[in-house]
A and B are shown apart, each in its own frame.
Chain A
């Protein structure tokens, strides 16, 4: 009898559902830590050989797709929620900014691009700047590691202005300072400390333009 129970448990374990939704074998917290993507059978089989069977060459007469779920590297709660939300889609976000910046005007492709980031966390700021520089470079644009500086007096005035006015004003100050005729600045900013969406603007020859 014991052997039967043992064999049954082993067979049960081997057929346990891999459904990522919460249930008897998975808590809500565990499900939230999954990052899932639906893909067709062929793609899934190519990406996960041995785990997902490829559809037959003549098809299976049914529409099949695979839901591939992977556990997030950083579990929920390990990083501040806003940082996690920003970093989760960082590559897509900065690629979108770079694409928009490069395609805004044809003359902008001739500029040397500088990047500035304003985000409450310094480590996350540097990561956003790194990603933005790489994204601009991958668009075929010239990018520089130079950092723009403002005098203490400028900073004192600009930090008291609302973002809608501060950035155009800062752009004018940059143009009067180190941002030359052949340079353009891509600024990635948070306009409201409560939001998780990043915004971008361009400073070119003293003119400020919001991208997104």
Chain B
């Protein structure tokens, strides 16, 4: 447990140090969302209609942006070998790195999302659902992304391959994330969609670290 916390703390610390790139995902997120009003025009009705989808799609892409360094940096400098040899099981190592990734990428997105949603004239009734859906959804993005990152570790220019592998797996999160917000706005309720997202999160937590650890072992061999 102590080792888990140490690894988590190191990864969070590294993300905020020189060249860590913690600000990258959030900057991309804000920029990508602000491009939409410029691209499709400032009509409040259109923006309100597409707002939920725009925020979610931008969040998926922003998460992808930071995923390729999740294991790659440790692989390149030999740290991954040593991490595989520590008493901490590799599955928990993966989970600690996912948690650190979420804390440095998912949480900033979560904080920025309501502000950006208001900017897009999203109905205020949908804000609570947006927050809850992102709270459940962003950890899934980190964990599922870790599987892709583990599969492509050691691959030159693996970032592009990673996007192609992982984006299709993000589709369910996108669908239910947007549906939750639409449900809250239309008055049908967001609960069923949030429950499905919660189920996805539990599934990802249960399976993701094992899948990612297995792929890392393959790539270390």
> A and B bound?
no
> Which B residues are closer than 8 A to A by beta carbons?
none
> Which A residues are closer than 8 A to B by beta carbons?
none
